[in-house]
Structure 1
Amino acid sequence: MQLTTEPAGWPATVTYWLSHAWLGTHVEPGVALDVSGGLIAGVRTGVATPPPGATVLRGLTVPGLANTHSHAFHRALRSTVQVGSGTFWTWRETMYQVAARLTPDSYYELARAVYAEMALAGITAVGEFHYLHHAPGGTPYDNPNAMGEALIAAAGEAGIRITLLDTAYLSAGFGKRPTQYQQPDRHQLRFSDTTADAWAERAALLKGSDHALIGAAVHSVRAVPATQLATVAAWAEERQAPLHVHLSEQTAENDACLAAHGCTPTRLLADHGVLGPRTTGIHNTHLTGEDIALLGSSATGTCMCPTTERDLADGIGPAVALQRAGSPLSLGSDSHAVIDLFEEARAMELDERLRTRARGHWTAAALLRAATVDGHAALGRPEAGVIEPGAPADLATVALDSVRTAGPVPRLAAEAVVFAASAADVRHTVVAGRHIVRDGRHALVEDVPAALASAIAALHR
């Protein structure tokens, strides 16, 4: 594993010519982007042909996609957990088995391949919800952040940005009294720092950079005692950092929280200062009307992960009501049942259609916003997710001539991409002006499928 502070080879100046560009409200043909120092320096419209020396991106170019919620090691579960039946709780047992086998080196190899798969899917930034901190049994590594640093290095080598959401995971669940929580079981020992203060001390040693931001996470209300929630929230507030939390993913979590504290998980978080505009609740599936009002009035974000939520049979969250209440929506691939932000975006709309038996809850523009602007904001990069001067030069270009996207007139290219394209249609990915994926091939990881196969096979031997 090679630790780097910045990926090598970031260009100083370059011009890209986009045959079609999504400019937030409409598709614009013939756009030239001047890039300097990794930022968009100029946007020129009405450029019918590529300027001399420009790099051509043919298709629909959108701002780079933001994968707000990821557990990189879950990628090793794909196909394995599709055998048989069960629930989230039975799926979790298989997840524990894979987690127990990871080392800093093997996690680096896996994450590098997973993040390269994301780059191939047009994802330029990922929020890594990271709780796999220590060696099996809970013994800290000599470098207490060896696992987190492996993830940061992996993202750099795959050419994408990362927000490492270092996660407090301290207990196995609620006890019989509000102040009593269950001790971590043998699988969870390597997740736990024992106390929020110890977590904060370790997390403070992590170093960010241009490509890596450091944020925080509360794994869930069952995994962080209520009396220690404020410590995690204060750590994030002091650093003005993103704070994420798994919230009401399971009805069993809600029931246990009600039994222990007499309130919902959302109310518990509100009462301990966790909610707010830099906080994002992951899933937010089983909420009461009061929960929705609390999240919306505090501008707490919601990250929907439809492909995981349906894979685990978790349910369909009230995304429409949350957005109307004031909760910005973002998207994540979570367990990586698939890595495809276009599928996540349309699944949010299509799941709502099934639930309500009505169409048209979000436009293509609104779904693209969740996959870009609001996703990047949830990861601590509010300047990203747009094609405008001053924004990071992070781009994804989707083919408009594949079997899935061919046919519609150019002005409807966004609808074609959101409602029909897949990750396989991404032709180019640019991060900070650097061409990471060119014509469907990754520039830094020579054979992504082979890298995935090798890293995953090593965990199943």
Structure 2
Amino acid sequence: MRNFWCERAWLPDGVASRVLVEVDGGTIVSVSTVDTIPLGAERLYGLVLPGFANTHSHAFHRGLRGRTHADGGTFWTWRESMYALAGKLTPRTYFELARAVYAEMAVTGVTSVGEFHYLHDGADDMADALRAAAEEVGLRLTLLTTCYLTGGIGRPLEGVQRRFTHGTVENWQASIARQAGGPLFRAGGAIHSVRAVPRAAVADIAAAFPDRPLHVHLSEQPAENEDCLAAYGLTPTGVLAEAGALGPRTTAVHATHLTDEDIALLGGSGTTISLCPTTEADLADGIGPARALADAGSPLALGSDQHAVIDLLLEARSLEYGERLRSGRRGNFTPAELVGALTDHAAVGWPTAGRIEVGAAADFTAVRLDTARTAGTRPDQVVLTASAPDVSVVVVHGRVIARDGVHETLGDVPRLLTRALEAL
């Protein structure tokens, strides 16, 4: 049994003060308010939120941060740099990079990550490297093994894209079936996109592993929509709906360029939307219709995707700011809705995480209220002022894994990142 005393805590019915959370075996067994701090309790100051869920990550993309801005361009020109990096990685260098990236996530408040994994080489060595990296860091990992079969609609794989494929849907299924779960590990699947998976194969993928998360890149670029309409007479959302790939276990990533019918299909099916505002801005993707999707019935989640920034608090704030830019109005999402998106672990297969209540996973992120950014902030509005450096303590499965920007066992994260990036 371990006790955590929270100066303030974000509980399901609002912010409360002097909250004692008792944990047994990684699960919350008691939540109460107390006047006296019990002897031996871990003290968490500021505001304690449920741990943050990073629902969309490509760990190896972190190697491109600050290296793709010299010549302008578009998503498609950025992709060529990504391909060049993908061609260099080995299981060992990928492990070292992913460990550093996951450590960066940990010190910024992330407690679970959905890794959209498509760098396969037709084997499981890269997947094993990712799992080992997350285990060393202490994060919850959902490995979303990605099916990637074509280089575009009606086009064969070319160059480094051959590293992304299992060759067949059956081989993809076999790879996921070999992945045994664990206390901090889940195995799920992903359709890379309608560009990379033929229409005929989408239904087979959707029917596989019906009890596991299924993720898919959706309508990130107008060119994807145009190619899909030309080939199939349907939008990408229409292709997924036709194949039975939408629903509560599915998360559509980006969902930027949608028709009204697309929004209705996604919302009506209860498909979660993983928005990655800093990536969508960095790659000039556009601003997706977040408020319309939420109003239609889609839960919203957040991801850092290509890791131009790893700051989930910034992603949450950018969700609201994008809507402000679109609508000309403030307050499109309440702070509570932003925290809900920030802590949506169900999207990556951890339905008991994301709440501070009895029976929930003991995953917390403490945010300071006395920094240059947060001083004077109302605690219930801290999601609109705090940033990653304001995270003080991170707890996963009842264990402190990071404190004041330093990982508890791996130490200095910039040093880890520098060493991993120098190897590339």
Aligned equivalents of 1:167, 1:101: Cα separation in 2:
20
Equivalence for 1:178: none
Shift in Å, 1:24: 2.9
Q: Does 2:40 correspond to 1:40? A: no
Alignment correspondent of 1:437: 402
Equivalent residue number for residue 90 of structure 2? 103
Structure 2 matches for 1:44-83, cutoff 5 A? 44-45=32-33, 47-83=34-70
The residue identity in structure 2 corresponding to 1:301 is T
2: CA distance, partners of 1:330 / 1:129: 15
Tell me if the contact between 1:220 and 1:245 (Cα under 8 Å) persists in the aligned partners. Answer: yes
- The Cα offsets for residues 330-377 of structure 1, whole Å up to 9 and x where unpaired, read as 0000010100111000101011101111111111111001111xx201
Could you tell me which residue of structure 1 aligns to residue 345 of structure 2?
Answer: 376
Match of 2:393 in 1: 428
Match of 1:151 among 127, 130, 137: 130
The CA RMSD measured in Å over matched residues stands at 0.9
Looking at structure 1, the residues matched to 181 and 90 of structure 2 have their Cα atoms a distance apart, in angstroms, of 22
Distance in 2 (alpha carbons) for counterparts of 1:297 and 1:406: 41
1:53-452 → structure 2 map (5 Å cutoff): 53-134=40-121, 140=122, 144-174=123-153, 181-237=154-210, 240-372=211-343, 375-408=344-377, 412-415=378-381, 417-452=382-417
Shift of residue 236 of structure 1? 2.6
Answer whether contact 2:3 2:22 (CA < 8 A) is retained. yes
Q: Using the alignment, how far apart are the partners of 1:433 and 1:254 within structure 2?
A: 44
Mapped contact 2:12–2:357 kept (Cα < 8 A)? no
- Cα distance, 1:442 vs. partner? 1.0
Q: 1:31-68 CA distances to partner (integer Å, 9 max, x unpaired)?
A: 011110010110011x2342111110111000000000
The amino acid across from 1:224 in the alignment is V
Count of residue correspondences: 424
Deviation of 1:329 after TM superposition, in Å, equals 0.3
State the TM-score, normalized to the length of structure 1. Answer: 0.91
CA distance in 2, matches of 1:225, 1:50: 59
**Amino acid in structure 2 at the alignment position of 1:158:** V
Q: Distance in 1 between matches of 2:80 and 2:319?
A: 27
Is the Cα–Cα contact under 8 Å of residues 25 and 365 in structure 1 kept in the other structure? no
2 CA distance for matches of 1:257 and 1:114?
A: 34
Native 8 Å contact 1:43 1:388 kept in 2: yes
**Percent same amino acid at aligned positions?**
56
1:310 CA displacement: 0.4
Q: 1 CA distance for matches of 2:181 and 2:156?
A: 31
Specify every segment of 5 or more residues in structure 2 that has no aligned partner in the other structure, as ranges. none
- Find the aligned partners of 1:37 and 1:300 in 2 and give their Cα distance: 32
Q: Distance in 1 between matches of 2:175 and 2:2?
A: 40
Matched residue type, 2:105: M
Gaps of 5+ in 1: 1-12, 135-139, 175-180
Asked if 2 retains the 8 angstrom alpha-carbon contact of 1:197 and 1:231, the reply is no
Q: Specify the alignment match of 2:2 in structure 1.
A: 14
On the 8 A contact 2:364/2:394 being kept in 1, the answer is yes
Q: Is the 8 A contact 1:24 1:365 kept in 2?
A: no
CA distance in 2, matches of 1:453, 1:50: 40
Deviation at 1:84, TM superposition (A): 2.2
Structure 2: distance between partners of 1:97 and 1:439? 35
The one-letter amino acid of 2:339's match is L
After superposing on structure 2, the runs of 4+ consecutive aligned residues of structure 1 that deviate more than 4 Å are none
Q: Give TM-score scaled by structure 2 length.
A: 0.99
The C-alpha deviation readout for 1:66-103, integer Å capped at 9, x for no partner, is 00000000111000012220000000000011111111
1:40 counterpart SS class? strand
CA deviations 1:293-316 (Å, max 9, x no partner) are 110111111011000000001000
Write the distance in 1 (CA, Å) between the matches of 2:113 and 2:45. 25
Q: CA deviation at 1:439?
A: 3.4
Query: Matches of 2:362 and 2:58 in 1, distance apart?
Result: 26
Cα distance between partner residues in 2 of 1:247 and 1:439: 36
